[in-house]
Amino acid sequence: MHSDASNINRPDSLSTGIGFHRSPEGELLCEDVRLTDLAREFGTPLYVYSRAAVAERFRAYEAAFGDTPHQVCYAVKASSTKGVLELLASLGAGFDCVSGGEILRALEAGGDPKKIVYSGVAKGETDIAFALNAGIRCFNIESPAELDRINAIAETLGHVAHVSVRVNPNIDAHVDAHVATGLGDSKFGVKLTDVVALYEKAAKLPAIEIEGISCHIGSMVESTEPFMKAVDVLAGFVNELARRGIVLSHIDLGGGAGVKYHPDDKLLEPAELIPALVARVAEKVDVKGIEIFVEPGRSLIAQSAVLLTTVEYLKSGLFLRRFCIVDASMTELVRPAMYGSYHSIEPVIPNTKAQRQVLNIVGGVCESTDFLGNDRDLAVEAGDLLAIRTAGAYGASMASTYNSRPLPMEVMVDGANVLPMRRPQTALDLTRDELPLGLAGDTSAAAEGARALFGEALEFARSRR
């Protein structure tokens, strides 16, 4: 994972890729739509997704499997807006969910419950009951206690719960500690020494039907080697369980393929990863015809979107630092603040008049960690529109309303068509469901007056776009 400290004086650019391109005049477009037109219509911060880019990445996974029995389950956590899920459902995707809310989103978007797998270490009773009633493909069990809970709820509701065990394979995927999920001391999955006994217990429970086995080793994995090690670990269990009379129907190898955020990053393409997985499973697994599941999230969606933001001010610090203050912040894109992650940042229209300088791109949230990119070599001035690239994954889905900032607007571009994916939110939406305590007397008139004034300010700002 690249930090911004290594990018001083480096021109900030990244290959535009499918869905985004520059006009002959140098303006950045999404498919056939000018990003400046979108910013003018919807305001900023604004997430813009390319339908073509999402579809291309999903089809790349499908094509890489060929005739091998498989299921591509999109990891909903990467970008959970229903419009994104609806597009993927229309393409035949399954869904990897980690909460009842994500299952709800997938179903509302037209997802097939028989293509939904449910992971997560803290599955609650409401979510388990919902998943059982919906008839999902399987639960990925992450602890012995969870198996007992699912069995008890399934018995009570008169269902049979289809389960797999998520194994913690204790594999070092050589990724940043923030996104490593397959090490032995991780909270995820069942430890190696408990796996066989848990399957044997599950086989005896009245409301449980065993489906498969799964694991997830981490995110931003740049080579096939860690995945091959994961296959070897899971294959050992599949074969041992078969000898004990428990024959599994699928092997789920998770997601985590690397994405190119930084020019030096390695993109692990489906065409490289999937055939290697298929060959290794065929070599190591004794159960012939076993179905292979994968759960890509970031590698399906990251490169499909940009976050548009407007430059508000430029200012200098006491020493050498210069700041470019924008209207986006860590509430719209938390990855840089949380992980120190790198995103390429580019002017939508190159500014040939502004002075090029090294800038820290920062937001308006009252946290010193609120930055989107440090030490970037840019020529910009107030009012310029910037595109934060590779923002489709863990962007909008991790957005917050901290500092009473509304959630960002999201749109999908399909050729020349613009498809809004959520209603625009303002600060007025954030207080609508909050209840007064009456400690300051009757505040209804004050609230009504404040809301009217804020509404007038919104109209003023819209008129100046």
Neighbours of 359 (CB within 10 A): 23
Q: In Å, how far are 73, 209, 278, 290, 401 from 69, measured between CA atoms?
A: 13, 21, 10, 7, 42
pLDDT at 465: 83
The alpha carbon of 151 is separated from its chain's Cα centroid by a whole number of angstroms, namely 30
Q: In Å, how far are 80, 397, 448, 462 from 111, measured between CA atoms?
A: 13, 18, 41, 37
Q: Is the pLDDT of residue 8 over 80?
A: no
pLDDT at 319: 80
Instruction: Among 146-155, 167-176, 222-231, 292-301, name the one with the lowest average pLDDT.
Output: 167-176
Q: Is the pLDDT of residue 9 over 70?
A: no
Question: Tens digit of pLDDT for each residue in 178-191?
Answer: 444 445 567 889 99
Closest alpha carbon to 98 in 81, 122, 114, 82: 122
Question: Tens digit of pLDDT for each residue in 424-450?
Answer: 999 999 999 999 999 999 999 999 999
Mean pLDDT of 203-228: 94
pLDDT at 317: 83
pLDDT at 2: 57
| Confidence grade of residue 12 (pLDDT, cut at 50, 70, 90) | very low
pLDDT at 171: 76
Question: Tens digit of pLDDT for each residue in 394-407?
Answer: 999 999 999 999 99
CA distance 211 to 192: 18
CA distance 316 to 356: 14
Q: Is the pLDDT of residue 382 over 60?
A: yes
- Angle, helices 270-284 vs 51-65, to 10°: value is 30
Q: How far apart are the first and last CA of the chain?
A: 37
Mean pLDDT of 342-362: 97
CA distance 352 to 355: 8
Closest alpha carbon to 285 in 358, 228, 328: 228
| Confidence grade of residue 17 (pLDDT, cut at 50, 70, 90) | low
Q: In Å, how far are 310, 311, 334, 373, 377 from 325, measured between CA atoms?
A: 9, 6, 16, 11, 15
pLDDT at 24: 95
- The residue behind tokens 């049979």 is 160
pLDDT at 184: 54
pLDDT at 4: 58
Contact present, 386 and 346 (Cβ < 8 Å): yes
Supply the Cα-derived Rg of the chain in whole angstroms: 24
Task: Tell me the pTM.
Answer: 0.92
pLDDT at 172: 61
Question: Tens digit of pLDDT for each residue in 69-105?
Answer: 999 999 999 999 999 999 999 999 999 999 999 999 9
Question: Tens digit of pLDDT for each residue in 454-463?
Answer: 999 999 988 9
CA distance 279 to 410: 39
User: Which positions are annotated as active-site residues?
Assistant: 366
Dump the DSSP string for 2-47: --GGGGTT-B------TTEEE-TTS-EEETTEEHHHHHHHH-SSEE
- The residue behind tokens 């950045």 is 28
pLDDT at 422: 93
- The residue behind tokens 């229903």 is 82
Dump the DSSP string for 76-92: GGG---HHHHHHHHHTT
Question: Tens digit of pLDDT for each residue in 119-163?
Answer: 999 999 999 999 999 999 999 999 999 999 999 999 999 999 999
Neighbours of 254 (CB within 10 A): 30
pLDDT at 16: 44
Contact present, 309 and 326 (Cβ < 8 Å): yes
The alpha carbon of 385 is separated from its chain's Cα centroid by a whole number of angstroms, namely 24
Q: What mean pLDDT is reported for the chain?
A: 93
| Exposure string for 278-317, b = 16+ CB within 10 A, e = fewer | bebbeebbebeebbbbbbbbbbbbbbbbbbbbbbeebeee
Question: Tens digit of pLDDT for each residue in 217-261?
Answer: 988 899 999 999 999 999 999 999 999 999 999 999 999 999 999
CA distance 45 to 421: 14
Contact present, 107 and 136 (Cβ < 8 Å): no
Q: Is the pLDDT of residue 299 over 90?
A: yes
| Confidence grade of residue 10 (pLDDT, cut at 50, 70, 90) | very low
CA distance 238 to 262: 38
